[in-house]
Amino acid sequence: MWNYYPELLETPVPRYTSFPTAAEFGPGIGAEDVEAALQRARGDVSLYLHVQICEKICWYCGCNTGASNKTQRLASYLDALHREIAITGVRLGREVKVRRIAFGGGSPNAISPTDFVRLVDALTLHMPLYDPAWSIELDPRTLTADWCQVMGVVGVSYASMGVQTFDPALQAAIGRVQPDTEIARAVDMLRTNGIRSLNFDLMYGLPGQTLAMLEQTLERTIKLGADRIALFGYAHVPHLIPRQRRIDGSNLPDQAQRFAMAAFGYRLLTSAGYVPVGFDHFAKPGDPMAGAVEQGTLRRNFQGFTDDQAQTLLGLGASAIGCFPDLLVQNEKNAGRYRMLLSQDRLPAAHGIRRSADDQRRGAVIEALLCHGKASLDADLATEAATRLAPFTQRGLARLDQGMLTIAPGGLPYARTIAASFDPYRQDSARRFSSAV
């Protein structure tokens, strides 16, 4: 049972896929920092490749992506990505083992299956791969049988599809029309070709969306056998994401309705047997993500909740973010400048932040709260946060006892806001972030 306290959700907060968040990135970080970090890297490392293109652009999307209708531009982008793979691989420390590779975007399946295989070949050639787990984000509207077969041959076993809603009117309202039959066909092809964990991205808070529409989408998702479900609240911020201007914002659910939708989704999915993962993800029992929840090994990185234990994540591609224990770094976002840097064999790091010891300490607390619902606090952090936590502890949403901060089951929708109590950068966040529900 979740109680709605609007006053606790007034201030927008980050999603905390890192700490410090990308909003704190600055220009003082560059190629030399990344070069040194690559050479220092040891042990298990994960890779993320950003494919910065989509065949069809959705109006709600805040990703750094563009339409794939310029063949030459796409070819140049892929050339640059190949170059980045090569010059990164050669700089990596000798004891590195790459055990996970994720393709995201954009829509990786906007490139041809042949181009995908070429990227896989380049990774095999230039990176120290140790039987990695392959995962990919897919657009079901443009997924072909050829693509699925190639994934099967490569051994991709984790896939995530952008579905958002099954309701045709809502799909039209957000500029992403994809009939049920198209999604069902994609699921069939993926299962036939070896995808063993399939995630559906869904959204609530869409213009004109009702609880009945959300229920229908969730029931259909369950019926199609999704192993994982991410249920995000749509953030309507056309001042930050110009393509959202095409969405009619006059009919958006208000904060109370959004809260009711998040609570409804949580109830429906957990009643259907899904294990809650953090505050907005769900996994079937037996899925590795549910296993990570049960074993207390769930983590959070730029890709969201994850069972990945690697401390280093290399981001390749324009705008991709890399994470080292003491450094967060983002590649050049502009595709033209990204290509230009790679044409000169320069690592395309553009900005980022060094993670101080204090950042790392606070980041560990924030990650633990979001992943495990509890965190052990140093005496000074407990003292510092006591006043900010009081609105939550007084309402029974969290408990602070002998340095252990625990979020109560009813406090889950406030988890991000509670986590923000430990974020010293977060004093002026009104414009930049989304609502916590």
244 makes contact with ligand SF4 (CB under 6 A): no
Q: If 0-12 CB within 10 Å is exposed, 13-18 middle and 19+ buried, where does residue 349 land?
A: buried
CA distance 8 to 122: 49
Between 142 and 149, CB nearer to ligand SF4: 142
From the list 99-107, 191-199, 215-223, 396-404, the region that binds ligand SF4 by CB under 6 A is 99-107
Contact residue for ligand SF4 among 65, 88, 197, 312 (CB under 6 A): 65
Q: How far apart are CA 399 and CA 281, in angstroms?
A: 23
| Residue 66 binds ligand SF4 (CB under 6 A) | no
- Span near ligand SF4 by CB under 6 A; candidates 102-110, 205-213, 312-320, 388-396: 102-110
Q: HSE, CB side, 13 Å, CA atoms: give it for residue 353.
A: 15
Binders in 26-55 for ligand SF4, by CB under 6 A:
54
Nearer to ligand SF4, 142 or 406 (CB): 142
Instruction: Say how many C-beta atoms besides its own lie within 10 A of residue 20's C-beta.
Output: 23
Is 265 in contact with 274 (CB distance < 8 Å)? no
Per CB under 6 A, which of residues 216..235 are in contact with ligand SF4?
Answer: none
User: In terms of residues, how long is the chain?
Assistant: 437
Least distance in angstroms from the C-beta of 309 to ligand SF4:
27
Q: Does 61 bind ligand SF4 (CB under 6 A)?
A: yes
Judging by DSSP bridges, how do beta strands 327-331 and 349-354 pair with one another? antiparallel
- Binder of ligand SF4 out of 12, 14, 20, 106 (CB under 6 A): 106
Of the CA atoms within 13 Å of residue 79, those in its CB half-sphere come to 14
Task: Please state the separation of Cα 32 from the chain's center in Å.
Answer: 27
Kindly identify the residues of this chain, within the stretch 158-197, that bind ligand SF4 according to CB under 6 A. Answer: 162
Least Cα distance to 217 among 162, 272, 164 occurs for 164
| Cβ neighbours of 433 (radius 10 Å) | 21
Pure H helices in 193-287: 211-223, 255-271
Closer of 315 and 413 to ligand SF4 (Cβ): 315
SS3 for 377?
coil
Residue 74: C-alpha distances to residues 37, 53, 390 (Å): 29, 8, 52
278 binds ligand SF4 (CB under 6 A): no
> Cβ closer to ligand SF4: 141 or 355?
141
Query: How many binding residues for ligand SF4 (CB under 6 A)?
Result: 11
Stretch that binds ligand SF4, among 58-66, 288-296, 388-396, 420-428 (CB under 6 A): 58-66
| Sole window of 101-109, 125-133, 269-277, 421-429 interacting with ligand SF4 (rule: CB under 6 A) | 101-109
Q: How far is the CB of 321 from ligand SF4 (least distance, A)?
A: 16
Tell me which amino acid residue 198 is: L
Q: Scanning residues 138 to 157, which ones bind ligand SF4 (CB under 6 A)?
A: 139
Q: Among 71-79, 100-108, 270-278, 336-344, which window interacts with ligand SF4 (CB under 6 A)? A: 100-108
How far, in Å, CA of 70 to CA of 151, rounded? Answer: 25
Is 261 in contact with 205 (CB distance < 8 Å)?
yes
Residue 408 sits in the site that holds ligand SF4 (CB under 6 A): no
Distance, in Å, from the CA atom of 210 to the CA atom of 240, rounded to the nearest integer, reads 26
CB atoms closer than 10 angstroms to residue 16? 21
Residue 58 binds ligand SF4 (CB under 6 A):
yes
- Smallest separation (angstroms) from ligand SF4 to the CB of 62: 8
Q: Does 57 bind ligand SF4 (CB under 6 A)?
A: yes
64 vs 88 by CB, closer to ligand SF4? 64
**Nearest-approach distance from CB 434 to ligand SF4, in angstroms:** 16
Binding site for ligand SF4 (CB under 6 A): 54, 57-58, 61, 63, 65, 105-107, 139, 162
